[in-house]
Structure 1
């Protein structure tokens, strides 16, 4: 069916062309019209058929011939002159009328029914008048002349073929001819034979017209069926198709009608279809239509839009072809391209979003050609490698790749081009423009075309320097361990150790120098260098020199017992430095190799570029130096007693880490005692077992995958890994392990290094617990309480419940603390905590906010009376006396209560209003108070106090007291801490905790801090002028740090008083120092030369990595740990860790709150540098400090600033 239909339409093998479509819709070969099809033309609205003859020519010849014949016959009949005159006039009129009729026939209006009927009637009347006037003289010639004349009139008006009313016109013509024929016969009274003959002629003409109409019927039916089928088919194709005449709608298929939303009648009634176009296109389309109809050159295709009946805009593509049979008719194909336009818009938006993402991405992104040549990069990539975009366009990825990584990158590219994989993720190094190597996590993908043709490479590089640095440092430790473990002696281990350090830490050359005790000199032993540049001359110079203490790099390291850096050798004139510069080496660092406290050698690392020490490198090399030194000393003792296998076994037995040898199948062959001790198996029980017997069941899958890569595939896996170990008794513990390969004769074995990290994990957990809990009472601290308060608010809002916040302040606590000492005050706080826990529910949160201030959160209260009941329980529990040491003390509590949601719906409001209520309760003599709005007025007292504080500075009411810091090793005082007091005219001497918070809230803290700095430095000048060796430390507020005002204050004061900056120490709390915003301020203060101390160390969230970057000179261990040294073993461990950490970082360590001799002994044993507290000195006025310093002035100066 489809093939037959499309065969009829003549497009079997290709889409229907627009010109072919125009020809199909242009009517062509119908010879005549038929009355039966007049209605059919009107129904389908198609253009009418063309004329069968060139009718104007035929009609003109026929009319001229008849007029001539009739005129000649009348002249020949010789009627009277009067008749001739009448006939001449009538024939002349007929000639003129005939010419007009022929002209109308040829015009576009020739098919108008309104013109057809008058013309036909006038021609008939003229014919009747001509024949009737001369009829009696024509005789027998009248019938044939009349018949031929009337037939000619009928022939002339066959234009009815082009009329929708053709059937009626044809019938009228036949009837008119018959009537005229009867009239002519009856008037002329011709013979019967003549009538019969010409009647038969007339009947023949009628039969001929009927037969002609039947032929037209057949041809027209075929044409209508064909064109109707074509329109229906085109409607099925979905394209809008229409014919217009002078811009007006003539006919269109369903697709076009549906596209506009109008009916055909509505479209036909429109003056012009240009009205459907958007307003901005109408003038252009109207101009183009005029040009097109006039035969001008106008594009046949264009893009526009249609505003459909609903008002929606439909994007369309229009193609126009002129219908040749109608001068003003156009065939138009309209295609809906809305989806295409939307797709193009979406594509442009996607491209824009990608461009923004590409430009603003934090990761470095680059596109390269198939040979790796860089074509496009984003700013992040330029920053990553240090080249400009223009410079990178001249390079390839291989040009900026570390030489050791070029092979892997090239292999990945070739693999993708070969179709083996679509992309790959690798870790590699780029070489920056300045020569620095930067590690990246590179994701590379080959982009292909739709026909699978490779187009270009797309890469995304993420900077992983920090992670790699940590991995590298850990890998260096293990590389050294593996080199030591897998070698029979130091002579063979040394190259491996040096190679491991160079490869993992990215140095070019490493040397080992050893101390000759007998000669009291250090000499060269061995070295290792990366392949590449020739450094033979420099290496040869090493064996030609020896160094004594203090000489050269080796002697300086030996003498100092600490790392020494020579970041740039250009300015050094020594022989070896000159040789190093000559071969291209510029940076050298040396690290001591120790055996216990004794330096036994030095490892030096060299690089092509200038390079200085960093904290991570120092920490690693300190470990490596100690490990190497111990190994060297041990091997010296064993070398004469053991062969290579025994030496390796000895190393395995003596390292603190568990070491086990594993064959390629994962079977344990041997284990050192550390493994048997760690897991509880004997070596015999472990030998022959699968290595995953040591791993918890839940972690074996990941462990087996690791071993599969390491053992079977021998894929190096960098860094140590953590899993869960399983002992023989089934207990689990956190385990750190790394597996490395070694060659033992012809056998290729693997050695697993195993380490129990339970203590480290526990320490991490303890630090996290300490960050969120009060060290003295174990209660949640302010931070954790705030978090739980926020969670309670969310839950209460969600469940539409209430809860209460209670703020509790102990009565007379300050008096007790001052009278009995801080240690007994701390004991009282612990007893109070125990009683609070005893009376409150498990669902309640109790927190110590600081000092003697506690907070309680009751989350299951159904009524305010429930919270009041809790407050009463608290007050009742505190009524009895407390047994503190050998004394009984009494205290009470003042409690303020605020309810959610009655008194506030955010944490700050609830706490503030609970504080207002607590103040009311305290002023009332204790007990509890529920917040009332009128209580806000009571805060005015504090506002008044703020005004008094502001006036206290110019009125001289502030004073400084000084508390000494005692050097534990010597008992000397070299530093005093300045503590501000307010000598209030009404309330007496007030400690800082009474007014400093208020000063911070009101902004008075800035002039107050300036006064303290000026006063402290003024007093310091006096002491220095008296010849007293002393420094001053003082606390600074977080507000001073946040507002960036501190640096200016300090610089101004130092300039005014001409004091050396290192005589002033500024103490900043740990929490403030850890804030990112504080880092810049601290570095600026450090640049001034002021010493910085980290106060309350151990109570905050400090990151060790961040701490190493801070420019601090000392740390002050918080009093909560120091005061608990005598009773709490955990506090002792924390203090020792803090001291060790501080010393490893090169910092001075001061303990706060020292109050008993037992704590002092612990601090001395831990190596703490100094301490302050009531045991060694209370805060006193400047005169007493002067006397103290004068009394010790006869002592020899002490090197208390060793960490500088």
Structure 2
């Protein structure tokens, strides 16, 4: 024995003869107690009190004999401990060191490391044994918690439908989430290193580039915009992007992180609104009664409500689907139809506008005259649409006919005396003026504003008949909307300039006010003196209502009628001004419905839209009259509260909102229950401008969701700190990978038939230079999001291969090393070449390497998976399906895959042996594996009962805390020495 061992041996011999205080001296060097066993004199057995306290017993109730622990240790661990004891007694170089489990007095399991040293006589015979206990329970529990956290986070990340990207400073993709397959039609691997603009719709590339460049120059941290993406199949998606700039210590941008959400439906609604507005503007520019549009791409026709009225079709059909061209043409007489078709042909061929007067037969059989105009709409030099107007000119045609008759009569009167001639000429002038403007309301007065003549349009608009009007003063038409000063200015203009034009409010005979566009001109005699006034007017009440409607649509949500973000920001600006004067606060509540997407997915968008309308009504009923509620889009609402005196007011309202919104809604016969998450921000402390206040309220809302949903959260400055923490962690992770600081831990895998270690699973760990341990649940998703999973995965694979070689060459252990591959790694086109390069570089045999990939990752791209796995299998590398049973594998595909091992997910192991359902699942997987000539490995084995049951079911191999957690590389040899294969 070495000198130190010899000295210790002498000390132990002396210890048996001295006072117990000496034992306390030795015990103070250990955390959880000493024990002593006299092999020659069993009555000298002794266990320290600290050991019994560890197991929850009163030391005074124990005799402190070694034999007492045999009733508390797990039977299989006792067997292992006795085996190691015998080996140690037989060979002083064989260490007495193992991890065993004890039953605590409360029934729980206590993990203990038990180490011992035999004291031998001169002949080498062991005569006494002294040892120490170390409590490992907390370590075991912490390791299990880390594994569970990793699983939960991985499940969450895999569920998102949003597109997550990273772009370098040159504009090329360095990372994309799996949803790029939907939006780009390519895998993430195929998109890497390609310019992001390549996937933007060609028509949006210039504007996207300009907006992006302007944002970068502004030095703002984040940026949101909407553009269209087009995939390789030609499908177009409208995406809402949120971009964040990542800068180095010098403030230079090194990359951009982006999240995109599919807002195609929302943008389509905006496009429909814009189309309606454009049509209205075209109609107004042509000064017509009704407007129409022909889309040459599908030959569909759109009519305004007035066009249906001219055709004497029911007004209700004005919102019908697009019409056919033949339907519109058939209303015209045969001659007019030919003339119109000829004009439209010229318009389509060379863009030649037309202005025609045609005869039309209405749906009720009435013959009328219409004036129709048409012009072409171009896009990139091509005619894509025809637009124009149509108006009923039957009345004008009647007046023109009457004018011709009058002119004929006047010619006969020219031969009469000069006075009669002058009178006839004057009458002709008046008649011509009236007839010229007969399509609109016309009134003729004398210089005292007494009505002397009107036309039919006047009666139609005002409600006053000819008999009721003539002889009356024009004041019968006036409303109370204008003061005396207004009318004075009007008459001053007439007297000085001989004309006046503008918009004016009048009142119909019924008392209904209406607005008209009025033009008044003086009729003068040969001396230039005014003798009459002619007023021509047009009722523009509906047009004004349309303008107000368009303005309302621009500032309000189309679905709920609530103010939109634009109007809310305007009101916030006003509220901030009021708050500055009053000293009160302005509160902003950001409300998001929890799990609203499930309603759309399960019940359809119609139910979802109706639910949003009902939510808006319920929220309005909760609020004060002076509060503003707005819809941001999707399932997000904003509430602005003015004149807030205390935070308690806002908290009280938020509590009411979460309570009321959680009550069920009755939608289409279904009872729907949704909850809401509310974020609160206060002006001025949480934001001095609308955008900042909205952003901070949004941030608080997401914190409420993270806290379990159906709750509210006040904005705090610590939320900004979390963002900074994430950026700091990202930079540290980059450096750690660059500096090769990541560590690899190894969890043993046990052959069921022999109970020996046959392999190890490599698991990456990150311990920072300052000793801080970063959970894999935190840094692995981060590495995937920022495009570092590939270099990290290569580091882990290389370290694991090097360690495999060292175990074989230096220690004689020929083990199989299992390494996990993420889905992103598996999408590399050169995966097999990359793996084989590392195998060649580290000089290990391919049969010593096993690669694991999850079942769900395999099924994401089955065709590519089969090719990748075949390449690896042909090279001699073992392949395992991790977490089998948790995905959605197709057996038809599974039989085609070169899989060697199915790893049974721990979720099916945890309930054994009590759960009959888990038992059946495990049995089924065993049968499936046997049918396909595959091996099975059960993960997460923690108890003796699970071990025995899995062994009886025929499971080939096991791993889990029952055998060992993942351990450092430096501790692997010690573990293997105690579990020699």
TM-score where L is the length of structure 1: 0.28
- Where relative contact order (Cα < 8 A, 6+ residues apart) is larger, the structure is 2
> Which one has a larger percent strand, Structure 1 or Structure 2?
2
Structure with greater helix percent: 1
**Who wins on radius of gyration, i.e. which is larger?**
1
